[in-house]
Amino acid sequence: MLTLSGPEIHPVQGAGEIPRSVDVAIVGGGVIGVSAALHLARQGVRTALFEKGVVAGEQSSRNWGWVRMAGRDLRELPLMLRAHKLWADFQNGNHGDTGYRRCGIVYASKTPDARRRHERWIEAAAPFGVEARMMEPGELAQAVPGLARTFEGALFVPGDARAEPQRAVPLMASAAIAQGAMIHQNCAVRAVETAGGRISGVATEHGRVSAGTVIVAGGAWSRLLLKGLGLSLPQLKILSSAFRTAPIEAGIESCASFSSFALRRRLDGGYTVASSAESLAQITPDALRFFRTFLPAYLAERRGMSLRLGRDFIDEALRWQPRDGDRPSIFEAVRALDPQPHQANLARVRSALTEALPAFRGGVAVQSWAGMIDTMPDAIPVISTLDSHPGLVVGTGFTGHGFGIGPAAGEMLADLATGRTPASDPRPFRFSRFTDGEKLSLQYWL
Q: Which stretch binds ligand FAD (CB under 6 A): 30-38, 90-98, 285-293, 305-313?
A: 30-38
393 binding ligand FAD? (CB under 6 A): no
Choose between 103 and 152: whose C-beta lies nearer to ligand FAD. 103
Closest CA to 248 of 145, 106, 371: 145
Q: Which stretch binds ligand FAD (CB under 6 A): 61-69, 95-103, 138-146, 429-437?
A: 61-69
Contacts (CB under 6 A) with ligand FAD, residues 184-223: 188-189, 217-221
| DSSP structure class, residue 7 | P
Contacts (CB under 6 A) with ligand FAD, residues 315-334: 331
Choose between 152 and 223: whose C-beta lies nearer to ligand FAD. 223
Site string for ligand FAD, 350-379 (x = CB under 6 A): ---------------------x-x------
Q: Which of 6, 12, 36, 52 binds ligand FAD (CB under 6 A)?
A: 52
Helices (H), 179-280: 222-227
CB atoms under 10 Å from CB of 57, counted, come to: 24
77 binding ligand FAD? (CB under 6 A): no
Helices (H), 43-103: 59-62, 77-91
DSSP string across 218-234: -GGGHHHHHHTTT----
CB of 7 to ligand FAD, least distance (A): 10
| DSSP structure class, residue 101 | B
Number of residues that bind ligand FAD (CB under 6 A): 41
Q: Which of 6, 53, 270, 422 binds ligand FAD (CB under 6 A)?
A: 53
Distance between first and last Cα of the chain = 40
DSSP E strand boundaries for 160-254: 161-162, 182-184, 189-195, 198-204, 207-216, 236-245
Choose between 152 and 164: whose C-beta lies nearer to ligand FAD. 164
CB of 112 to ligand FAD, least distance (A): 27
Q: Which helix (H) or strand (E) holds 49?
A: strand 47-50
Choose between 275 and 385: whose C-beta lies nearer to ligand FAD. 275
Choose between 345 and 424: whose C-beta lies nearer to ligand FAD. 345
Contacts (CB under 6 A) with ligand FAD, residues 219-278: 219-221, 225, 240, 242
Q: Which amino acid is at 144?
A: V
Q: Is 253 exposed, middle or buried (0-12, 13-18, 19+ CB in 10 A)?
A: middle
CB of 365 to ligand FAD, least distance (A): 15
CB of 150 to ligand FAD, least distance (A): 26
Q: Is 303 exposed, middle or buried (0-12, 13-18, 19+ CB in 10 A)?
A: exposed
CB atoms under 10 Å from CB of 188, counted, come to: 24
Closest CA to 219 of 362, 24, 395: 395
Q: Is 180 exposed, middle or buried (0-12, 13-18, 19+ CB in 10 A)?
A: middle
CB of 382 to ligand FAD, least distance (A): 10
CB of 175 to ligand FAD, least distance (A): 16
71 binding ligand FAD? (CB under 6 A): no
Q: Which residue is nearest to ligand FAD (CB)?
A: 30
CA 56 – CA 66 distance, rounded (Å):
16
**Residue numbers at the binding site for ligand FAD (CB under 6 A):** 27-33, 50-53, 57-60, 62-66, 188-189, 217-221, 225, 240, 242, 331, 336, 371, 373, 396, 398, 400-404
